[in-house]
Structure 1
Amino acid sequence: MVNAYGPTEATVCATIWTCPADFNGSVVPIGRPIANTRVYLLDGHGAPVPFGAVGELYIGGAGVARGYLNRPELTAERFIASPFVEGDRLYRTGDLARYLPDGNLEFLGRNDDQVKIRGYRIEPGEIVARLCEHAWVREAVVLARQNGGGHKHLIAYVVCAPEAGSDEGGGGALAGALRAHLSARLPDYMVPSAFVRLAALPLTVNGKLDRNALPAPSDQAYALAAYQLPQGEVETALAQIWAELLGVERIGRNDHFFELGGYSLLAVQMLGRASNLGLSFSATDLFRAPVLKELASQICLQVQPSNSAVISVRPNGSQPPLFFVPSGFGDCSYVLGLAAEMDADCSVYALPWPPFDDVRPPTFEAMAAEVIVAIKQIQPRGPYRFAGYSSGAILAYAIAERLLSSDEVVSFMAFIDVSLPGASSNASLKNLAREFVLDRCGTLRDEYREVLERDTEQCSISELLEKAQQTGALAPDHDLHSDVSMYQRAAAFQRALQSYRIPSLPIEIYQFYASEPLSRWVPPDKQSGRDANLPKLGWDLVVDAGAIHAVPVPGNHATMVSNPENRQVLAHAISTALIGTLE
């Protein structure tokens, strides 16, 4: 018996695997390339991935077709000149694979099936492959679904082997075992929040997975600890917040926030909700004590002052605090992981997204004034220190402008990969809509991407999201109303940014810039080098060039803060700069 793999664009067969007599059936490879065929596993920048890592499969050699008849745009996207063999052409399959230890290829699904969770692009097939390595799992599928709180999570559906035994009275035992298995092999963001046990995977009449028939996870699907009723006012209030955010009906005092699917963005929302109830604690407290009863023991119940929207990320330090300014989408969740890696002796706060008035369009000057009120409740006098990622750095600049005009001192400005804004343009708002929908959908199939490109000019954000839902790019139960509300606030922020006239200020800026371009796919021979002025990203037009300290950080605009290794480098660089300003 043989297993042959290949798309029509590569003359049907590109790789082949012959089943050995002692095959145990755990993984069926697609084998190795046939004669006169070359295969490559490449990352998003067209570079070969390390052995054993997941990459997109490209095919070269004599069997590659010339292209698609009368479809030059699609041909240019899918058929490219090989950067590895002179005169060869590669077909970009859209399939994901990795090399097994014996040199055979393992097929892991389509990159069309990729999902985007918390900024990470994830191949569910890689998670499934790891799940099926566990002795208790016979079959599995992994999907992204919204929970009751409207947050997208990874859900694993598993058909168990006899070794798993009965699930009667098991609570979260299966979920706990499989979570531990994956946590030892995959990064945290790839570990599903819930593990749903099924007798069999539901199939359509055509024999394909019926995704619509997969049930929503019950509490038993989560890695819940042995249940004990929350005790006291603080534990009860926390349990209610956790249940709403995590989509779990019953939270006990022994449950672990992160093992139930919690992550930085939910932690930020929990801190905000807890603060509204007068529960005073920091993100550091949560990371140190993620079990409900342990966290509750560290919380003070008090009437909260008017700066309750400010997130206390790290409450203690002998140096002046560092304030992180929110970006155009109001996201400050990246601050929690970044602050945890910083070794500067200062408290850290994440500032709130300023309120938006539907009647009066906001301006950056007005936003800055609102935010300064919250800042001064924590630190009445300077010197002030700010950091901002992406467009948040521009709002930080507007805050600095207002403080300097009041004779306050601004001693530190950290810009995390932000360019000086260019001339205002309606195109930038259209791009915002397009990128927003892409971010919500993750990787799109070619058909919907073409629809999105065509309709962005004519359709509202509501219509674009509805089209995405109709084509299956968004789940049927996806909360479109929440997305529309977030986009409208982001668009208001973008319009305010476009109207802001950036003045020249007598300050120093530390520009922590991404060392890699942000691109979904750029062939190596098409990647252009950064020009000499690019590390300053245009800010030398309004700030003295000698006052701009450019510091490279590994990764692109997204991965410099999302990738743990890159984030550690960024945190160390910011800490070094902070310490240097005190000397």
Structure 2
Amino acid sequence: GEIAARLLEHELVGDAAVVAHADAAGDKRLVAYVVAKTTDGSAEADGAGLAASLRAHLGGLLPDYMVPSAFVRLDALPLTVNGKLDRKALPVPDDDAYARRTYEAPQGEIETLLAGIWAELLGVERVGRHDNFFELGGHSLLAVRVLAQALALGMKVSASNIFDAPILKDLAPKIELDSSQYTPGVLPVRTIGSQAPVFFVPTGYGDCSYVFRLVREMDIDCPVYALPWPPFEEARRASLEDIATKVAHAVRKVQPRGPYRFAGYSSGAVLAYALAERLLYLEETVSFMAFIDVPIPAMSPAMTDTEIALQMIFEPLESLGDEAFEVLRQSAGQSSVEQLFDKARQIGAVVGRPDLYYDALRYAQFHQAVHSYEMPSLPVSVHQFYALEHSPSRGARLPAGPDANSPMRGWDRILGAEFIQAVPVPGDHVTMMAVPENRRVLARQLSAALNNSPTTHPNRNLDVK
């Protein structure tokens, strides 16, 4: 797989395998088993030092969710009599595999509160004040959840604080407790700047974590906020217009009047368009819209929640073999989402957070809302930052329009080509954001577009219903 291949590029790694392993809580996480090599036969490539080195190596090459939580050194990979990897013979990771630091209890209210949040989200028994969030298995997506919980507890903190100071004792002094600073439904990514803020919506996975790394590479003079999905009610399906109304309410608490500027990555960015529709209806101005490789939703046959969960959760899993995926695909046609996850657990295919099942329900609800959305033609201009390469896929993904691979990604059918500026970005749909050099190109292009954006749109007075 790609993860093992990237590990083999490290100078300390001679052989490697990556598997899903159940931790003490019964949740499955990716674990890398490596046969390390040293130049002098010493044990320098071992324990927490090895884990930290390999985590840093992969972190610059792969998306966060593909970086293993633990790294275990072996003298050799165990093999079956047929010469295949013997998964049953692989040892359980110990504490050193997670790059733990010498334990010292947290000090003060903020360290104690943060340690509790980390321990809960990372699935570890305790967090010391010298521990590093990312070395314990944290990643950008979990950083979003840390930020949300910290804000809910009244902490004045931004995403850049977590990335700049990932060690607990270094992070705590950067944080103040002030409940008046938290705006529900809005995550501060960058809080300084003289121009109007830009609001990023989540991906189709409800993931805002891409915003943090992208913004760190951008050259802009404006605050930046991420807009997480509002809570979904399983008993009542919300339309995209309903979701946009709730999110717009949060946006207007931060910025009461326009002009508004929005951006989004992947299929979730359709929410930004619905936000623009809502705000224009309220006679506000939307002066900037940036789509990062966003195809227009397809007019396709309805998919069930289970089929959406299959393609969004299990189709991308590198650790899931083709045979296992086919078992799940056949099961999806006659199963509920819960039954699909039961089948996945039976064949050992469930990897990730313990709340993954509930996330799958959220993904399904959001995408049902997107594909039911009646797309109006709005008086807005759009920058479409499109990936130059096509993404590899095991099979069919969520439906996309017939012109999903065109530079405008089909939006010219809604807005007209004269209102869309297509900007190429190196990489495919994933690597344009995940690979640092591609992300830097995207950041420069997006910065230039933002810095040159008008404060008003020439068609601002058109009626939008």
TM-score by length of 2: 0.84
Task: State the alpha-carbon separation in 2 of the partners of residues 533 and 211 from structure 1.
Answer: 40
Aligned twin of 1:503: 376
Farther-moved stretch of structure 1 (289-298 vs 355-364): 355-364
Of 141, 152, 155 in structure 1, the residue corresponding to residue 29 of structure 2 is 152
Determine helix, strand or coil for the equivalent of 1:143.
strand
CA contact (8 A) 2:403 2:409 kept: no
Of 527, 541, 558 in structure 1, the residue corresponding to residue 430 of structure 2 is 558
Whether 1:329 and 2:209 are equivalent positions in the alignment is no
**Once the 2 structures are TM-superposed, how far is the Cα of residue 381 of structure 1 from its aligned partner?**
1.2
| Percent of matched pairs sharing the same residue | 49
Aligned twin of 1:547: 419
Aligned twin of 1:242: 118
Whether 1:406 and 2:282 are equivalent positions in the alignment is yes
**Once the 2 structures are TM-superposed, how far is the Cα of residue 413 of structure 1 from its aligned partner?**
0.5
CA contact (8 A) 1:281 1:299 kept: yes
CA contact (8 A) 1:272 1:308 kept: no
Whether 1:567 and 2:443 are equivalent positions in the alignment is no
Whether 1:356 and 2:229 are equivalent positions in the alignment is no
Task: State the alpha-carbon separation in 2 of the partners of residues 183 and 489 from structure 1.
Answer: 31
Task: State the alpha-carbon separation in 2 of the partners of residues 360 and 236 from structure 1.
Answer: 38
Whether 1:127 and 2:7 are equivalent positions in the alignment is yes
Aligned twin of 2:214: 338
Render the CA deviation track for 1:104-152: whole Å, top value 9, x for unaligned. Answer: xxxxxxxxxx3xxxxxxx3425526747648xxxx86543446559573
Task: State the alpha-carbon separation in 2 of the partners of residues 331 and 379 from structure 1.
Answer: 22
Alpha carbons of structure 1 residues 375 and 144: separation in structure 2 relative to 1, 3 Å: same
CA contact (8 A) 1:275 1:309 kept: no
**Once the 2 structures are TM-superposed, how far is the Cα of residue 463 of structure 1 from its aligned partner?**
3.1
Matches within 5 A, 1:158-237: 163-164=41-42, 174-177=47-50, 179-180=52-53, 183=56, 187=60, 189=62, 192-196=68-72, 209-212=85-88, 214-237=90-113
Aligned twin of 1:415: 291
Matches within 5 A, 1:93-492: 114=1, 122-124=2-4, 126-127=6-7, 130=10, 133=13, 141-145=17-21, 147=23, 148=25, 150=27, 152-156=29-33, 163-164=41-42, 174-177=47-50, 179-180=52-53, 183=56, 187=60, 189=62, 192-196=68-72, 209-212=85-88, 214-304=90-180, 307-427=183-303, 432-439=308-315, 441-442=317-318, 444-474=320-350, 482-492=355-365
Task: State the alpha-carbon separation in 2 of the partners of residues 327 and 568 from structure 1.
Answer: 19
Task: State the alpha-carbon separation in 2 of the partners of residues 496 and 406 from structure 1.
Answer: 22
Task: State the alpha-carbon separation in 1 of the partners of residues 215 and 7 from structure 2.
Answer: 29
- Structure 2 residues without counterparts, runs of 5 or longer: 396-401, 456-465
Q: Which structure has more helix as a fraction of its residues? A: 2
CA contact (8 A) 1:219 1:249 kept: no
Whether 1:493 and 2:366 are equivalent positions in the alignment is yes
Matches within 5 A, 1:56-95: none
**Once the 2 structures are TM-superposed, how far is the Cα of residue 471 of structure 1 from its aligned partner?**
3.3
- One-letter amino acid of the structure 2 residue matched with residue 236 of structure 1: T
Task: State the alpha-carbon separation in 1 of the partners of residues 176 and 266 from structure 2.
Answer: 34
Of 444, 448, 452 in structure 2, the residue corresponding to residue 576 of structure 1 is 448
Determine helix, strand or coil for the equivalent of 1:451.
helix
Alpha carbons of structure 1 residues 264 and 250: separation in structure 2 relative to 1, 3 Å: same
Q: Which structure has more strand as a fraction of its residues? A: 1
- One-letter amino acid of the structure 2 residue matched with residue 387 of structure 1: A
- One-letter amino acid of the structure 2 residue matched with residue 538 of structure 1: G
Task: State the alpha-carbon separation in 1 of the partners of residues 87 and 405 from structure 2.
Answer: 50
**Once the 2 structures are TM-superposed, how far is the Cα of residue 445 of structure 1 from its aligned partner?**
3.1
Task: State the alpha-carbon separation in 1 of the partners of residues 131 and 365 from structure 2.
Answer: 39
User: Highest CA radius of gyration, 1 or 2?
Assistant: 1
CA contact (8 A) 2:12 2:36 kept: no
Alpha carbons of structure 1 residues 203 and 447: separation in structure 2 relative to 1, 3 Å: closer
**Once the 2 structures are TM-superposed, how far is the Cα of residue 306 of structure 1 from its aligned partner?**
6.0
Alpha carbons of structure 1 residues 201 and 232: separation in structure 2 relative to 1, 3 Å: same
Of 521, 531, 538 in structure 1, the residue corresponding to residue 410 of structure 2 is 538
Task: State the alpha-carbon separation in 1 of the partners of residues 242 and 143 from structure 2.
Answer: 28
Task: State the alpha-carbon separation in 1 of the partners of residues 432 and 83 from structure 2.
Answer: 42
**Once the 2 structures are TM-superposed, how far is the Cα of residue 206 of structure 1 from its aligned partner?**
7.5
CA RMSD of aligned residues (A): 3.4
CA contact (8 A) 2:18 2:30 kept: no
Determine helix, strand or coil for the equivalent of 1:536.
coil
Alpha carbons of structure 1 residues 145 and 572: separation in structure 2 relative to 1, 3 Å: farther
Alpha carbons of structure 1 residues 213 and 304: separation in structure 2 relative to 1, 3 Å: farther
Render the CA deviation track for 1:358-377: whole Å, top value 9, x for unaligned. Answer: 23210111111100111112
- One-letter amino acid of the structure 1 residue matched with residue 117 of structure 2: I
- Structure 1 residues without counterparts, runs of 5 or longer: 1-113, 115-121, 523-529
If asked which structure has higher relative contact order (CA below 8 Å, sep 6+), I would say 2
Alpha carbons of structure 1 residues 224 and 483: separation in structure 2 relative to 1, 3 Å: closer
Render the CA deviation track for 1:309-345: whole Å, top value 9, x for unaligned. Answer: 4221112111111101123321111111111111111
Alpha carbons of structure 1 residues 431 and 554: separation in structure 2 relative to 1, 3 Å: farther
Task: State the alpha-carbon separation in 2 of the partners of residues 432 and 532 from structure 1.
Answer: 18
Task: State the alpha-carbon separation in 1 of the partners of residues 83 and 421 from structure 2.
Answer: 59
Determine helix, strand or coil for the equivalent of 1:550.
strand
Task: State the alpha-carbon separation in 1 of the partners of residues 313 and 385 from structure 2.
Answer: 28
TM-score by length of 1: 0.68
**Once the 2 structures are TM-superposed, how far is the Cα of residue 468 of structure 1 from its aligned partner?**
3.4
CA contact (8 A) 1:149 1:244 kept: no
Alpha carbons of structure 1 residues 157 and 245: separation in structure 2 relative to 1, 3 Å: farther
- One-letter amino acid of the structure 1 residue matched with residue 169 of structure 2: K
Number of positions where the alignment pairs a residue of Structure 1 with one of Structure 2: 444
**Once the 2 structures are TM-superposed, how far is the Cα of residue 569 of structure 1 from its aligned partner?**
1.4
Render the CA deviation track for 1:402-441: whole Å, top value 9, x for unaligned. Answer: 1111111111001112222232522486652331243463
CA contact (8 A) 1:384 1:412 kept: yes
CA contact (8 A) 1:176 1:224 kept: no
Determine helix, strand or coil for the equivalent of 1:572.
helix
Render the CA deviation track for 1:184-225: whole Å, top value 9, x for unaligned. Answer: 688454764433466887677878654345444333333233
